[in-house]
């Protein structure tokens, strides 16, 4: 049994138990976790359904601080399924909410994900702009994370600015 199968099994049992003993407040987190498992295993339709249930429950519980993370997860599922327009829309909504709550980690991830959409669509200039914004936060928050350097290097490579691309990839490797 893979780790993902085990995670899915645990989340499904948790969901069943939470419903059985009336732990309604726990349901959205479980649905969100289950959506992440589905997304990681390639089942984006199930991921979107699960994340949407989580989002609806968070809204009904007025748990507004949890909404941006779930919206980001929805964007990730859209991105993985190749629906970049809806991914971008979700990432932008998540970013606006993260900014409202001054959640710097969320801002860093949403900003980086927006850059990924632009990179995937071949808009390397816009991707670079968003990746550079993300890097400012990621370097402060996650000093051992190489992803922002790699992302910027990928945007530079797409722009045919190979010297800058090599510098960013080199920095990513050094971390």
Is pLDDT of 6 > 70? yes
pLDDT average, residue stretch 27-50: 96
Q: Which of 65, 30, 23 is nearest to 51 (CA)?
A: 30
pLDDT average, residue stretch 103-121: 98
Give the number of other Cβ atoms within 10 Å of residue 169's Cβ: 18
pLDDT average, residue stretch 73-95: 98
pLDDT average, residue stretch 16-36: 93
Confidence at residue 1, expressed as pLDDT on a 0 to 100 scale: 66
Give the number of other Cβ atoms within 10 Å of residue 106's Cβ: 21
Backbone phi and psi for residue 60, each to the nearest 5 degrees, phi listed first: -65, -25
């Amino acid at each position: 049994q893979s780790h993902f199968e085990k995670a899915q099994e645990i989340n499904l049992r948790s969901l069943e138990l939470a419903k059985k003993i009336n732990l309604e407040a726990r349901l959205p987190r479980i649905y969100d976790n289950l959506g992440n498992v589905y997304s990681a295993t390639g089942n984006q339709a199930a991921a979107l359904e699960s994340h949407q249930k989580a989002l609806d429950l968070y809204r009904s519980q007025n748990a507004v601080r949890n909404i941006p993370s779930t919206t980001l997860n929805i964007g990730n599922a859209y991105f993985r399924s190749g629906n970049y327009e809806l991914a971008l829309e979700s990432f932008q909504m998540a970013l606006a909410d993260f900014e409202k709550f001054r959640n710097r980690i969320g801002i860093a991830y949403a900003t980086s994900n927006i850059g990924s959409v632009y990179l995937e669509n071949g808009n390397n200039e816009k991707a670079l702009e968003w990746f550079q914004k993300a890097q400012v936060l990621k370097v402060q928050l996650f000093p051992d994370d190489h992803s922002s350097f790699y992302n910027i290097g990928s945007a530079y490579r797409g722009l045919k600015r190979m010297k800058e691309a090599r510098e960013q990839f080199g920095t990513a490797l050094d971390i």
